[in-house]
Structure 1
Amino acid sequence: MSALSPADKDAIREAYTAITDARGLTPRWGQRQMIAEVANTLARLSPSMGAADTEGSPIAVIEAGTGTGKTIAYVIPALVMARALNKRLVIATATVALQEQLVHKDLPDIKKGSGLDFSFQLAKGRRRYLCLSQLDRLMARESGGGQTMGLYPDEVSPALARDALESYGLMLDALARGDWDGDRDNWSAPINDADWFPVTADQGQCTGRRCPNIRNCSFYRARDGLQEADVVVTNHDLVLSDLALGGGAILTPPEDTIYIFDEGHHLPDKALNHFASFCRLPSTLSWLGDSRKALAKGAPLLATLPGLSTVLEPLPALFDDLQLRLQQIAEKAAAIMASAGDFEEQLRFEGGVVPPDLQQATASLASQWARLTGRLITLEAGIDDALEDESFASVRDELEAWQMAVGGMLVRAEGVLSLFQDFAADAAEESPPRARWLKRRADDEELAIDLHCSHILAADILREQLWDRAAGVILTSATMTALGSFDRFRARSGVPEDGRYKIVASPFDYGKATLHVPAMKSEPGDAPAHTRELIELLPDLLDAGEGSLVLFSSRRQMNDVYDGLPVEWRSRILRQDDYSKQEILRRHRETIDDGRGAVIFGLASFAEGVDLPGGYCQHVVIAKLPFAVPDNPVDAALAEWLEAQGRNAFMEISVPDAALKLVQASGRLLRTETDVGRVTLMDRRVITRRYGRAILDSLPPFQRRIS
């Protein structure tokens, strides 16, 4: 049985002592607890084999309360253990703000103060970097010199705006001078998606090491730097993308990686979104037509490549057949939606069971679509081989353009095939069944319908992709538990039961804050009455001279309350949607700094990740318990599955979820050890309903004032 070696203990202790001394910090008990938990978890790996021993999985789920100082608590022991085990450390966050804080502040401070010598780099996906090959071809098309620039299906626009062309010219000049690294986030001026997207490449379009611009490729330069970095900072989505590609495509292979997922409570939902499949019927129909035309245009050249004439010959008929079949599916989907009612935006199939007629049609289409995908794979491979053959050197530029075009087609074809295969599958053989649904798009077109499919729990996905493969994993956030238990997270994520689970208490004195549940005549179930009472009570509850945050679960209620308040109160309120989130926070801080009171009206995005310490927020008002809106097909399918087993979906899903969100919302109050203030919950159900006591007791130990 492996254990933390004396040398590793000493290295961790010395680094921690050095940084607390250097920064004048008082060592925190919770921080030391977390350091020990991370170190002992990773010590479950055998230094010689790099595999977990019989003590348990090298996976830890740690809830670290606000103010723990969790970045220091996971970076120092994970760095020491990664070095001892010859692994790379990948820190993944759910938000850009935390990534930037890690790269620009936390890691430099730790490196400077701890005495640990390590390198670190931020990892981003391909779409964050300029593709010189795409830009060259696009500029050639605009100048009239590009003969192959009409190849690309779904090309954004036939002609670019003059200001976009000017931006591209400035980008090329900046790259040539070495003043810019090709990273969108480092470009000096804002650039919208419509202008940026055409000059980037995805996995399928990228020709990799064969690209003539490879030596100047911004993405590969950044990626090569990742191979040298001791610590890679990225986001959950990029980690999931890398794992979906088999691991090691962008980051190091999971077997050689220790992952830390900060804001780890988001990981199951991120995994569900990432591995879901969908198909937009109208645009896919258009894409088939565009692809048919594009390949017909390229056939005279591509048919000269060895073995490709027989691949190309049946493609026109195959495209025609797929368009006909897809049109029939679109009509069937539209009929099913019409039967549900003219005003239904989406229709979920109970138990994940697709109507037999639609299921048979998608199964038939999936079979034919697999033929298309196979031919595109062969076509891409044939172009790839030709690029290695000197006899095709005279048409190399055209072949590279076709390689990018066919690669893009293949990526899209594979994604759509996944959806059709998911719709054709037998839900009775799935446990739990997947969620399958139709969604009407806000288009005038009659057949503007999307097909969607998703797992309802991420447990199997993460078990296969991550838990069974990674060298070690640490998941942490301030809200990993719900109702005081890890059960909710374990069920959704599939983290092994023999992993380590730890709650590290916040060092804050919650007795400095008050939780107030005021007397009210209404409950949120009667929305109009509840809204009227909020309008009546808020002017007396809020202090005009302090910083307050009022959180709503409904945009409609937020707007109705705002509109119903007196003019003098509306002038003090910054309301979500009136400005960007960052602009609201900037104006709020500026107002408080000027010695005046300010109030923010916000929705769920202001209930998490918003840091307003001290006087910026002395009062958090929560309009009602944050129960999820019952229109999410994945949550509805999960509830249905639980109910079918005789379980109580409300108590197993809705109550724990609401409790967790309430903890997150109330966590906006105390952000430093000296903060004081109050949380006001305008929802009497914590008192009147039997589940209310459990939710109330899951909150931090505020002083309570129940009216």
Structure 2
Amino acid sequence: MAASAELPAQLKDQVQAAYRHYLEAKGYRPRYGQRLMIAEIVKGLVGGDESVVVVEAGTGTGKTVAYLLAALPTAKHFKKRLVLSTATVALQDQIIGKDLPDLAAHSGLEFTYALAKGRSRYLCLSKLDQLLSQDQQQEGLALYDDELALRLDGEQTRLLEELADAYVGGRWDGDRDSWRDEIAQENWQLLTTDHRQCSNRRCAHFSGCCFFKARESLDQADCIVANHDLVLADLALGGGAVLPDPEDTFYVFDEGHHLADKAVQHFSHRLRLRSSRSWLKQLSKTLARLAKDLPQAEALLRYYPPVTESIASAEELLPELLVLLEPLLPLEEDDREPVVQHSRFANGVVPEPISAQCARLRQPLRRVAVQLDSMVEVLKEALSEPLHGISRELAERWYPVLGRALSRAEAAYGLLQDYAEPAHRGTVPQARWLSRYPFQQGDDVELCSSPILAAETLQESLWNRCHGAVVTSATLTALGRFDHFQLCSGVPAGTRFASVPSPFDYASNGVLRLPRLEADPGHPEEHDRVVAEALDAFLDPKKGALVLFTSWRQLNRVRDRLGDVWRSRILAQGDLGKQEILKSHRQRIDSGQGSVIFGLASFAEGIDLPGDYLTQVVIAKIPFAVPGDPVESALHEWVREQGQDPFSAISVPLASVRLIQACGRLIRSESDSGEVMILDNRLKTRRYGRDLLAALPPFRVVAE
């Protein structure tokens, strides 16, 4: 544990007074875990050069109030901003709509706060204007996925007109999440933008821009509520693009167990070859229309011949790369899965012929990106001051078109650059693999690259730059230790770690049943049978239950084995959306019926069904990672090369975290009670099983 610097007396008094004021105003009693969490955070944030605090806070601790009471005064004391990041929209909405207003009203602390979202959550007025004003009889611009010419149907036109009317009338703020109905992604992607397509202050609609109006409130706010994706995107742009500079910021990452996985996904690269060739052909047509639309634009058209030449070179080289790759993904005749298979490169090392061809292909794509960037800059200049042959109107029309093309060209170049460079020994390797997907003209091959750990990326972009950070969640330890989290996240060696216990009486209110089964998960068909039999015997038809599986196969086969009466009570993931399942489940319980949810990993966390809504949780088997995932396989390979056992070092700790999350669905408040049943003999017969059990909440165990 890192040594703390001297705690400023003024800050200590302010935090204590705010907590006391809050408890008195709300009529609450102090909680030991909450007080401990406040103290650990404040001590850690003033701890010197490595002011990073990792706090596991059990359910019921009141961690949101704890980290706000600790971090808000600390950030203001050091004249820094506080960025509070969550993994889910639900928690983000709760904090901005409930927790922060409540704290401002009852703690005596004075602070301002604002909500931060990325551009993609806001309406782009320029795109809306273009879509509504374009002549539907003329050829549309290639603005969108697969660069297909746009055609709006009647329903889409009505939606756009309704959105425009509501925004102009002041009845809507342009935020996708505040619209009264869910806007389908295929419609919303027509209306939003990204940093490459946005012309910022040069846009004719800048004064009314939804995104920049929302962003104005961020400049003065003491506390900014964001999400992990936005924070990572901002860091990838160098920091300070949307959020404050990391050096001037204290961060709090709630639901922090998601941070490392989000970072891995954020910094991965993918490139589908046949669809890319199709896109390049469409890009040539798009640029030909640009040349026709702007025949006098000399400053722009001087890039037209070289960019089309570079596109043609890339088109010519792509099939040669496909010839090298397709033999690595042999197609099985009876395989009807959307993704036929993965083919992973051992240690992330790409064979020399493939690497060399990627190196050849990256050159024309790099030129495409450079030339498109130059064209975008010309259009940007024309947005400020009309250039010869380019009116402001035409610049506004073409700027997002070329901006989107530039973004795609840069992404393609990034993947090829990754494949062209040899993997360096001594550092954590990339996972590199191929996948096959169905495509219009035969199956497509996708090149993929991903970090296997986020540690180095987060060290460089976050931990080494921020003024201080707090990472908190109910599940940060694995097998009772922080080692796994530290490996994945790369938090500094001097990080302050603390585990704050839950106030719930698990032994009195919860039972953990471990029945003796006739079959193990190693025998899938027999295990399906005994799981179905156990459910039939254990579940109370009048109660609320959650049954968690690790695969679609077992979920469906167990459901098929149950009788008609049970099947009529089951709400299964895949049949309905997640929110619709939860809504129907609550309605059934409220009306006195029994209800059973069948779900996979997404139902093992973030589900809040207190009281009678959930009194029985069944876990079909230990939630080990699905074998065959390329990133997971590459991580195991690297761990093995470090002289460790990947099962013990990676698989078991990750299963521990997932098992704790699943069991955590049962007790959500001090008055909750119920039973958890785990249908896996390995918890009693394997050594790692006993370790997994020891890390679970201290339920009263009934082993048969």
Range of TM-score over shorter length: over 0.9
2:623 to 620, 623, 626: 626
Cα 1:299–1:480 change in 2 (3 A) is same
2:513 to 498, 503, 516: 516
DSSP 3-state at the match of 1:611: coil
1:267 to 248, 253, 259: 259
Contact 1:148 1:401 in 2 (8 A): no
- 1:57 corresponds to: 50
Distance (whole Å) between structure 2 residues aligned to residue 439 and residue 150 of structure 1: 27
DSSP 3-state at the match of 2:702: strand
2:34 to 31, 34, 54: 31
Read off the aligned partner of 2:31 and give its amino acid letter.
Answer: R
Distance (whole Å) between structure 2 residues aligned to residue 585 and residue 173 of structure 1: 34
Q: Does 1:478 align with 2:474?
A: yes
Distance (whole Å) between structure 2 residues aligned to residue 203 and residue 323 of structure 1: 27
1:419 to 393, 415, 440: 415
Cα 1:150–1:484 change in 2 (3 A) is closer
Cα 1:420–1:170 change in 2 (3 A) is same
Contact 2:251 2:469 in 1 (8 A): yes
Q: Does 1:385 align with 2:381?
A: yes
TM-score by length of 1: 0.95
2:175 to 174, 178, 183: 183
- 2:159 corresponds to: 167
Q: Does 1:507 align with 2:503?
A: yes
Q: In the TM superposition, what whole-angstrom CA distance separates every residue of 1:281-302 from its partner, at most 9, and x where no partner exists?
A: 2221121112112222223666
- 1:102 corresponds to: 95
Q: In the TM superposition, what whole-angstrom CA distance separates every residue of 1:98-126 from its partner, at most 9, and x where no partner exists?
A: 11111121111111111222222221111
Distance (whole Å) between structure 2 residues aligned to residue 97 and residue 151 of structure 1: 32
> How far off is 1:156 after superposition?
5.2
2:367 to 350, 367, 371: 371
Q: In the TM superposition, what whole-angstrom CA distance separates every residue of 1:235-294 from its partner, at most 9, and x where no partner exists?
A: 100100010011111111111111111000110100000000111222211211121122
Within 5 A, what are the aligned runs for 1:144-155?
A: 149=141, 154-155=146-147
2:323 to 331, 335, 338: 331
DSSP 3-state at the match of 2:85: strand
DSSP 3-state at the match of 2:391: helix
Calculate percent identity across the aligned residue pairs.
45
Distance (whole Å) between structure 2 residues aligned to residue 412 and residue 150 of structure 1: 13
1:22 to 14, 22, 25: 25
Q: Does 1:11 align with 2:14?
A: yes
- 2:557 corresponds to: 560
> How far off is 1:189 after superposition?
2.9
Cα 1:355–1:390 change in 2 (3 A) is closer
Distance (whole Å) between structure 2 residues aligned to residue 154 and residue 683 of structure 1: 46
- 1:212 corresponds to: 204
Q: In the TM superposition, what whole-angstrom CA distance separates every residue of 1:628-652 from its partner, at most 9, and x where no partner exists?
A: 1012110100101112233101111
Q: In the TM superposition, what whole-angstrom CA distance separates every residue of 1:20-54 from its partner, at most 9, and x where no partner exists?
A: 1222211100000100111112223xxxxxxxx3x
- 1:251 corresponds to: 243
Q: In the TM superposition, what whole-angstrom CA distance separates every residue of 1:293-337 from its partner, at most 9, and x where no partner exists?
A: 222222366675565444322222211111111222223222321
Contact 2:295 2:389 in 1 (8 A): no
Distance (whole Å) between structure 2 residues aligned to residue 411 and residue 391 of structure 1: 24
DSSP 3-state at the match of 1:199: coil
Contact 1:153 1:291 in 2 (8 A): no
Read off the aligned partner of 1:694 and give its amino acid letter.
Answer: D
> How far off is 1:87 after superposition?
1.4
Distance (whole Å) between structure 1 residues aligned to residue 502 and residue 385 of structure 2: 64
Question: Which range moves more in the overlay, 442-451 or 147-156?
Answer: 147-156
Q: In the TM superposition, what whole-angstrom CA distance separates every residue of 1:387-434 from its partner, at most 9, and x where no partner exists?
A: 333554971110122222221111111111110011112124462211
DSSP 3-state at the match of 2:226: strand
- 1:545 corresponds to: 542
Cα 1:389–1:588 change in 2 (3 A) is closer
Distance (whole Å) between structure 2 residues aligned to residue 539 and residue 463 of structure 1: 50
- 1:648 corresponds to: 645
> How far off is 1:3 after superposition?
2.7
- 1:586 corresponds to: 583
Cα 1:166–1:156 change in 2 (3 A) is farther
Where do 5+ consecutive residues of structure 1 fail to align? 45-52
> How far off is 1:479 after superposition?
0.5
Read off the aligned partner of 1:184 and give its amino acid letter.
Answer: R
- 1:50 corresponds to: none
Distance (whole Å) between structure 1 residues aligned to residue 363 and residue 238 of structure 2: 25
Cα 1:179–1:393 change in 2 (3 A) is farther
1:692 to 684, 689, 692: 689
Contact 2:143 2:150 in 1 (8 A): no
Within 5 A, what are the aligned runs for 1:86-485?
A: 86-143=79-136, 149=141, 154-155=146-147, 157-299=149-291, 304-305=296-297, 307-338=299-330, 343=335, 344-392=340-388, 395-429=391-425, 431-443=427-439, 445-485=441-481
TM-score by length of 2: 0.95
Contact 2:362 2:416 in 1 (8 A): yes
Distance (whole Å) between structure 2 residues aligned to residue 453 and residue 615 of structure 1: 46
Cα 1:387–1:31 change in 2 (3 A) is same
Distance (whole Å) between structure 2 residues aligned to residue 447 and residue 703 of structure 1: 54
1:41 to 22, 44, 57: 44
Q: In the TM superposition, what whole-angstrom CA distance separates every residue of 1:523-557 from its partner, at most 9, and x where no partner exists?
A: 11101001111122222111222222111112111
Question: Which range moves more in the overlay, 441-450 or 340-349?
Answer: 340-349
Question: Which range moves more in the overlay, 524-533 or 554-563?
Answer: 554-563
Contact 2:432 2:449 in 1 (8 A): yes
Question: Which range moves more in the overlay, 209-218 or 371-380?
Answer: 371-380
Read off the aligned partner of 2:199 and give its amino acid letter.
Answer: T
DSSP 3-state at the match of 1:691: helix
Read off the aligned partner of 2:278 and give its amino acid letter.
Answer: S
DSSP 3-state at the match of 2:105: helix
**How many pairs were matched up?**
696
Question: Which range moves more in the overlay, 110-119 or 412-421?
Answer: 110-119
Read off the aligned partner of 1:363 and give its amino acid letter.
Answer: A
> How far off is 1:594 after superposition?
2.3
Question: Which range moves more in the overlay, 311-320 or 360-369?
Answer: 311-320
DSSP 3-state at the match of 1:228: coil
> How far off is 1:510 after superposition?
1.2
Q: In the TM superposition, what whole-angstrom CA distance separates every residue of 1:504-524 from its partner, at most 9, and x where no partner exists?
A: 011111112111111111111
Cα 1:462–1:342 change in 2 (3 A) is farther
Contact 1:624 1:681 in 2 (8 A): yes
Q: Does 1:657 align with 2:654?
A: yes
Distance (whole Å) between structure 1 residues aligned to residue 147 and residue 432 of structure 2: 30
Read off the aligned partner of 2:514 and give its amino acid letter.
Answer: V
Distance (whole Å) between structure 1 residues aligned to residue 57 and residue 71 of structure 2: 16
Cα 1:143–1:539 change in 2 (3 A) is closer
2:64 to 59, 71, 74: 71
Distance (whole Å) between structure 2 residues aligned to residue 274 and residue 391 of structure 1: 38
Cα 1:117–1:604 change in 2 (3 A) is same
Read off the aligned partner of 1:580 and give its amino acid letter.
Answer: G
> How far off is 1:570 after superposition?
1.7
Q: In the TM superposition, what whole-angstrom CA distance separates every residue of 1:484-517 from its partner, at most 9, and x where no partner exists?
A: 1100010111001101000001111111211111
Question: Which range moves more in the overlay, 508-517 or 211-220?
Answer: 508-517
Contact 1:305 1:382 in 2 (8 A): no
Where do 5+ consecutive residues of structure 2 fail to align? none
